[in-house]
Structure 1
């Protein structure tokens, strides 16, 4: 190739413009991308504003949220709190000097479970009353003295005095054991069994004492005073035996107002007109 041909070819190549390739997003794609970024920024700002508003309304702080505070001893609630689900806690107590209120629209239940998640003790306070279930129920004073105890075997009243305020008194379907029965001052004491018998028994004796007033024993059928080993003593300035039957007087006896108390072999008492000697005669109408 000659020198002139090479020069002409170089001039032709140099006269052509080089092609430039653009890199990026242009046109409607670019506008959509900017719009998407703008919407994303708006959502971020709205989300941030809502988060700040929730923190402000719920009163979130470093120590807790709202009325709930986290302390070294546990959780602390200030004011009224409402629980929609069961509450599990080791200890619940109020602030010093303020009472603790538990309120529910139906009932308040306190359940004690053992290691096998089986209920062993339950306390239910509802509209019908307060019901407690357990092996034993104890009530103690502030000093630790036992005031009341109940289990399947017995019920113990540890107070010094048991007062029954009802007008009808206390009703017992079975036997009772007590060292002392006393009425209130200036009130009468009545032991009554309307449809059955009344027995008073003690290994060392039964003492009935009325310092002021009378003692009256009334029954429908029989009143029995029995002493197996000792004696029965009636000690008073005046002893009256009213409505005793009168035995048949002899024809020779004169009518008088002095009588003799006679005893039948079966223990029945009757009157007989007194005389210089004993006038007691077995009366078929009284002794038989």
Structure 2
């Protein structure tokens, strides 16, 4: 009898389970809602609305920036990207260093570089060492380089050149318009000095001497005026191998001392002496001596000794 118990219990359990499925349910079923409700739903909608407003504001700001900065397919604002490079129109400001190969303006407008303090242009070699500098300040313009040149626009002829050894002026004419003229601290070497038409040429040394030297001679010419050489102490005309030639219709030497002639004592009732002879002392002094039948220069040696 013990051997039939598991089978009987299994059949009873099956029948009981089958009957329970067909029995009507008397209790109400319980439903569990799925989703977000309450304050969580309101927070989610608020964040979605905030994200939408932020996206719209960002889009509007982006469109406004593009409109204000004038962004186009060619560039932005005054900046245009062309085949030849970058083109800037109007006034542009650079707050950081600008590295370019070439800067040039339009054909119908000048190029202006403006700064509140100064404008400095630097040139460097491959190692980054400074080789040249041009500084334009409020009071001065400075150029630091090995050689400074100013060339003509037409043929590229050098008009002005300066280095550590010499300064060369290649213009056809050097014109100085100052009232005080040109001041040179040392010697001046030039083949020709000429004044403006209808103007006087004046070479002056207020406190020292004025020396003009040339290996083949010095020529001083005044074609339409007078030639004057004045000094306070002595005027030397020296020729080491040639002669001093004075060629004029009238040669006047003023304020020369007059010597006396003892062979013919002057008479109070006789005519006044009007003819004199020009004499020269061994030391180069000139004096006048009353003219006679023969030379009277040897009889007035006191002029050479005491004057």
Give per-residue Cα distances to partners, 1:6-26, cap 9 Å, x unaligned.
433433356568877665434
Cα gap change, 1:282/1:116 in structure 2, threshold over 3 Å: closer, same or farther?
farther
Partner of 1:272, secondary structure, is strand
Q: Judging changes above 3 Å, is the alpha-carbon distance between structure 1 residues 39 and 264 closer, same or farther for their aligned structure 2 residues?
A: same
Report the CA distance shift for 1:34/1:11 in structure 2 as closer, same or farther (over 3 A).
farther
Question: What number of residue pairs does the alignment pair up?
Answer: 288
CA contact (8 A) 1:111 1:123 kept: yes
Contact 2:261 2:300 in 1 (8 A): no
What does residue 221 of structure 2 align with?
209
Q: Offset at 1:73?
A: 1.3
1:265 and 1:287 in contact (8 A); partners too? no
Structure 1 contact 148–157 (Cα < 8 Å) conserved: yes
The match for 1:182 is 194
Structure 1 residues 79 and 236, CA gap change in structure 2 (3 angstroms): same
Provide the residue aligned with 1:116 in structure 2.
127
Q: Distance in 2 between matches of 1:285 and 1:274?
A: 16
- Runs of 5+ consecutive residues of structure 2 not aligned to the other structure: 1-7, 267-271
Tell me: CA distance 1:14–1:125, structure 2 relative to 1, closer, same or farther (3 Å). farther
User: How far apart, CA to CA, are the structure 2 residues paired with 1:82 and 1:14?
Assistant: 92
CA distance in 1 between partners of 2:131 and 2:35 (Å): 76
Whether the 8 Å CA contact 1:183–1:189 is kept in 2: the answer is yes
Separation in 2 of the partners of 1:181 and 1:72?
54
Correspondence for 1:160 among 139, 151, 172: 172
CA-based RMSD of the aligned residues comes to 2.2
**Higher alpha-carbon deviation: 16-25 or 256-265:** 16-25
In our comparison, the structure showing a higher alpha carbon Rg is: 2
Distance 1:6 1:224, change over 3 A: closer
Once the two structures are superposed, residues 71-98 of structure 1 have per-residue CA deviations (whole angstroms, 9 ceiling, x without a partner) of 1111111111122222221111111221
Give the Å deviation of 1:277: 1.4
The counterpart of 2:280, out of the listed 244, 257, 263, is 263
What does 1:7-156 align with in structure 2 at a 5 Å threshold? 7-12=15-20, 15=23, 24-142=35-153, 143-156=155-168
Q: Distance in 2 between matches of 1:9 and 1:120?
A: 106
Write the distance in 2 (CA, Å) between the matches of 1:99 and 1:6: 108
The answer to whether structure 1 residue 193 and structure 2 residue 205 are counterparts is yes
Answer whether contact 1:108 1:124 (CA < 8 A) is retained.
yes
Structure 1 gaps, min length 5: none
Show CA shifts across 1:11-46 (max 9, x none). 335656887766543433233223222221221121
Alpha-carbon distance between aligned partners in 2 of 1:115 and 1:57, rounded to the nearest angstrom: 41
1:223 aligns to what? 235
Q: Is the 8 A contact 1:113 1:121 kept in 2?
A: yes
SS at match of 2:51: helix
